[in-house]
Amino acid sequence: MSFTRPLLTAGLAFLLTSCGYLSENPKTALEQQWLQQDPQIAEAVKQIREQGLVAVAESAEAGTVAACVASRLAADPMGKLITVEGALAESAKVAKLLADIEQMFSQEISFDSVAAMLEQGADAAAYAKTLIDQQGLEQALATLKTLVAQSQQYATKELGGHLQALISTCKAYEVPAEAPAEAANKT
C-alpha cells in the first residue's frame, strides 16, 4: 500500500501535466517567446495588463513605445482583448471566438452551463472572464456587442496574428532625438 500511493500520485501528476492541466499554457509560452524579441513592447503589454488599456493610453509619455502600443490597441476593436494572457498567440478566428463568448454570455449560469463552457474551450471562457472582471457583466455585454459589430473586417483573421501585426508597427518606434543645436538653444 505504501508503494502504490506514491506511484499512483506520480502517474496522475504525469497524466495531468501531459494533458496540459498542470503545465504552463502553451499560448502563454508562445506569447512570451514573441514578446522576448522586443523588451519595450513586452513592458508596454505588461503595463496594459496591469493598469488597463485606457489608463496606459492616457498616461504613457508621448513618443514612447508604450504610447504607440496603447494607442494602436485602443484604436482597434480587438485591442481590448490584449488583456488576456496568451492573446498574442491566439489562433482562434475572431468571428468564432466572439461567437463563443457571445454564446457563453447568453446562457444562464448553472453547473451544466459551466460544463458546456469548458467543453467549448478555455479560450472563450478566459476572454469572457477578463471582460467581466474589468467591466462588470452589463458593460462586458455591451463591449462584446460592439466588438461583434466592429469586427466584421477581421472575422477570418486569427486574433493573435492581428494583435501582433498592430503591435509590430511599434517595434521600430523611437522617440525623436533633439538636434544638438536645439538642445544648446534651450540652455
Which set of grid coordinates corresponds to residue 36?
522576448
What is the distance between the alpha carbons of residues 117 and 171, in angstroms, rounded to a whole number? 37
Write the pLDDT tens digit of every residue in 120-168: 556 677 777 777 788 787 887 788 778 877 777 777 788 889 999 999 9
E-assigned strand segments in 15-172:
none
Q: What is the pLDDT of residue 80?
A: 85
What is the distance between the alpha carbons of residues 143 and 83, in angstroms, rounded to a whole number? 14
Q: What is the pLDDT of residue 48?
A: 93
What is the distance between the alpha carbons of residues 51 and 57, in angstroms, rounded to a whole number? 10
Q: What is the pLDDT of residue 47?
A: 94
Q: What is the pLDDT of residue 45?
A: 94
Instruction: Write out residues in the chain with pLDDT < 50, as ranges.
Output: 1-23, 175-187
Collapsed DSSP state (helix, strand, coil) of residue 3: coil
Q: Which of 138, 48, 137, 37 is nearest to 87 (CA)?
A: 48
Q: Per-residue b/e over 91-107, b at no fewer than 16 CB within 10 Å?
A: ebebeebbebbbebbee
Report the alpha-carbon angle 19-23-28, nearest 5: 110
Collapsed DSSP state (helix, strand, coil) of residue 172: coil
Q: What is the pLDDT of residue 68?
A: 93
- Residue 47: count other Cβ atoms within 10 Å of its Cβ: 18
Tell me the backbone φ, ψ of residue 158, rounded to 5 degrees: -80, 140
Domain boundaries, the chain: 25-171
In the beta sheet, which residues pair with residue 158? 93
What is the distance between the alpha carbons of residues 67 and 56, in angstroms, rounded to a whole number? 7
* Residues in contact with 72: Cβ distance below 8 Å, sequence separation at least 6, in sequence order: 79, 166, 167, 169, 170
